[in-house]
């Protein structure tokens, strides 16, 4: 893997949510925080003094990256001469990142379904973009319309990749964007993504999708994004060409797109159309302006309609940009908070095609699971659309293999999950039931043993109350509940009202905290050979003490006192998600009980000594990692010969840390040298 110093650009990923993430794209010392949108700057409109000046896009709206068209610039004799003299940044009076397109989209506009191309040499347009000082230039790829058959689309793809290789040879001072093509054929999209990744480029647009968006084929767009990303991998920024409507942005980000471009803000404005989050309106048909941006705060529709055409278009363009800015900022905040799904689910209700697209995500839950963090701050679900979320899949798989520390023949089932976190329910389910009865909560996530209810997503989940679930969630819950009933000789249901219907003569349950700790460890780490994680960590001969919060009574730390009287810190409980942090002794025991690649992140030998001192692991030094590692997992940092350097928490998924060129892979908690010191 090349060092970032040898690259024109770098992309650092952090804070994943679903397949989306926050990131920093850096090129030539300029930074762009993603997800981000690039307003399209039309050079012909600049000549006429129309449109929003690029300097205003940066200074007033905060757009740190824009896109313009080198093909159009080159065709205009006057504009071309000035751009060659001043450079593209000087001509646009713009200090941010400038991306240029090559004319491929014009080939679609002019050539349509015939696949005709613009009159420019593919290598010459790359040289030209270098000459005018583009930060990111684009090859002249073959635009594959969606209805092109597989054979023709495959030939287009071959030509695109051949042109990319040739273009890389003449490129010398800009990042070269190589679009992913393949039409509607998902196998070709995956092959194209892999081909782009293998070229070693640092920027990948997903091309040929504008016709789909124009025809509201959003479900197919979901398939295309996922198949493209599967081939491309998580470490290269993905730009969804032509996606500039605010309604689509949350879904596209959730699927892993990082950058977008919009000409629609201006096109709509010139057609007297007014953007909102979920639709566009005709300004002449509006009663008022439902927006508080600087354009709308002191104006009504009649004020804008009274203006001259260009002035009206200028104001509407600015309003449309404010809407895009607001939606992107909300999406970024949601990714950081871990609530992106909530925005995606809301957007599904805006349009039937969007609803179908969000439903289509259920066919790609495996892809979402590979990229989503292990835990978030909360889990909110309003409908069966949420079944696309990886939490359902993960919990179902873990529960199917889960074995409580003690065998129980009966189950006491709390059927109202809305009261499960109350003190009264906790006392009734644990403190006042006869021994030999397993407490269980029936939830839309599944039938969950009460031992692990503090773990994400159970305790952090928010669902409609019983009787208010939609048919899909109700059906899913019942499908998981029936296998539970077959596990026990007897199942006693209780709705949380009154006293539980169990026999008198109740005793306090012994060693409740230890049982909970063991159950959480089994759910979190699973088995190591024939032994569960708790059996590996709680060794014979040591005395285990569990420290709890005085305020909540919940587990906080687990200590071990050895035969020699030495006290060691074994585990710490994370209050936000109910998972354990491994301390050094626990890491050593899990390392000894397992073999690579389980739980492991392998680093270069020259950097392992720094990790052993407590320094974080960076992606560019990761050689390999357990493919099951997700952001938020506790991991073991090892060297080539499986020597244990450190233990910490994964910052990104295994795919990102192995293929990433920059950014933190593991936040180290304890290191071998640090511990010895």
What is the token pair recorded at 314? 């200028």
Q: Is 256 helix (H, G, I), strand (E, B) or coil?
A: coil
Q: Does 633 qualify as catalytic in the annotation?
A: no
d(CA 414, CA 499): 11
State the DSSP string of 591-659.
HHT--TTTTEEEE-HHHHHHHHTTPPEEGGGEEEE-TT--TT-EEEEE-TT--EEEEEEESS-HHHHHH
Going from the C-alpha of 260 to that of each of 35, 240, 282, the distances in angstroms are 8, 5, 24
Contact partners, residue 215, CB within 8 Å, separation at least 6: none
Q: Residue 37: in which H helix or E strand, if any?
A: strand 36-41
Query: Phi/psi of residue 170, each to 5°?
Result: -100, -10
What is the token pair recorded at 103? 């004319």
Closest CA to 235 of 620, 634, 639: 620
State the DSSP string of 280-335.
EEEGGG-SS----STTTTT--HHHHHTS-HHHHHHHHHHHHHHHHHHHHHHHHHHH
Half-sphere exposure (Cβ direction) of 535: Cα atoms closer than 13 Å: 12
Q: Which residue has the tokens 């001469």?
A: 81
Q: Are 120 and 74 in contact (CB under 8 A)?
A: yes
Q: Residue 337: in which H helix or E strand, if any?
A: helix 309-337
The active-site residue, picked from 17, 101, 626, 633, is 101
Q: Angle 256-261-263 (CA atoms, 0-180°, nearest 5)?
A: 150
Q: Which residues are the active-site residues?
A: 101
């Amino acid at each position: 893997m090349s060092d970032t110093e040898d690259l024109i650009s770098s992309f650092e990923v952090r804070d994943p949510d679903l397949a989306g993430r926050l990131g920093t794209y850096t090129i030539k010392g300029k930074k762009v925080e993603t997800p981000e949108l690039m307003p399209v700057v039309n050079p012909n409109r600049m000549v006429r003094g129309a449109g929003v000046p690029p300097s205003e896009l940066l200074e007033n709206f905060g757009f740190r990256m824009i896109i313009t068209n080198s093909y159009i610039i080159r065709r205009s004799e006057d504009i071309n001469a000035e751009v060659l003299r001043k450079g593209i940044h000087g001509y646009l009076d713009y200090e941010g990142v400038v991306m240029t397109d090559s004319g491929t989209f014009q080939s679609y506009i002019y050539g349509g379904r015939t696949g005709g191309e613009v009159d420019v040499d593919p290598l010459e347009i790359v040289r030209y973009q270098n000459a005018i000082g583009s930060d990111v230039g684009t090859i002249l790829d073959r635009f594959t319309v969606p209805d092109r058959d597989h054979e023709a689309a495959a030939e287009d793809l071959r030509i695109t990749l051949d042109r990319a290789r040739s273009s890389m040879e003449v490129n010398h001072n800009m990042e070269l964007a190589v679009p992913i093509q393949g039409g509607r054929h998902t196998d070709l999209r995956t092959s194209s993504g892999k081909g782009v990744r293998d070229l070693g480029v640092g920027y990948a647009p997903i091309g040929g999708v504008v016709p789909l968006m124009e025809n509201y084929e959003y479900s197919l767009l979901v398939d295309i994004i996922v198949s493209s990303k599967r081939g491309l991998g998580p470490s290269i920024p993905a730009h969804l060409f032509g996606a500039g409507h605010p309604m689509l942005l949350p879904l596209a980000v959730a699927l892993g797109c990082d950058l977008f471009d919009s000409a629609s803000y201006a096109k709509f404005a010139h057609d007297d159309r007014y953007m909102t989050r979920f639709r566009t309106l005709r300004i002449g048909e509006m009663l008022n302006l439902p927006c508080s941006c600087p354009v709308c705060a002191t104006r009504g529709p009649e004020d804008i309609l009274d203006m001259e055409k260009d002035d009206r278009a200028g104001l509407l363009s600015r309003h449309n940009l404010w809407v895009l800015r607001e939606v992107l900022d909300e999406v970024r905040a949601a990714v950081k908070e871990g609530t992106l799904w909530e925005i995606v689910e809301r957007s599904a209700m805006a349009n039937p095609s969007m609803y179908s697209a969000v439903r289509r995500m259920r066919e790609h839950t495996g892809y979402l699971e590979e990229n989503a963090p292990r835990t978030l701050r909360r889990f909110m679900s309003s409908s069966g659309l949420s079944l696309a979320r990886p939490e359902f899949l993960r919990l179902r798989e873990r529960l199917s293999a889960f074995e409580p520390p003690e065998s129980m023949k009966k189950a006491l089932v709390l059927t109202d999950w809305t009261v499960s976190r109350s003190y009264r329910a906790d006392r009734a389910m644990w403190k006042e039931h006869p021994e030999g009865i397993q407490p269980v909560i029936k939830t839309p996530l599944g039938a969950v043993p009460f031992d692990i209810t503090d773990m994400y997503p159970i305790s952090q989940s928010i669902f409609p109350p019983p009787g208010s679930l939609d048919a899909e969630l109700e059906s899913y819950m019942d499908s998981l509940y029936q296998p539970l009933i077959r596990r026990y000789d007897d199942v006693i249901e209780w709705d949380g009202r009154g006293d539980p219907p169990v026999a008198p003569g109740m005793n306090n349950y012994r060693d409740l905290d230890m049982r909970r700790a063991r159950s959480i460890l089994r759910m979190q780490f699973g088995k190591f050979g024939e032994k569960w994680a708790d059996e590996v960590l709680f060794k014979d001969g040591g005395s285990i003490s569990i420290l709890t919060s005085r305020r909540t009574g919940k587990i906080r730390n687990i200590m071990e006192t050895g035969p020699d009287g030495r006290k060691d810190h074994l585990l710490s409980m994370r209050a936000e998600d109910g998972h354990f942090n491994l301390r050094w002794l626990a890491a050593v025991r899990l390392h000894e009980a397992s073999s690579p690649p389980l739980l492991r992140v392998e680093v270069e030998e020259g950097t392992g000594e720094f990790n052993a001192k407590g320094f974080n692991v960076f992606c560019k030094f990761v050689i390999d990692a357990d493919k099951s590692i997700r952001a938020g997992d506790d991991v073991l940092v090892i060297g080539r010969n499986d020597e244990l350097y450190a233990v910490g928490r994964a910052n990104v998924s295994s795919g990102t840390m192995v293929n990433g060129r920059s950014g933190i892979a593991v936040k180290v908690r304890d290191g071998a040298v640090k511990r010895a010191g």
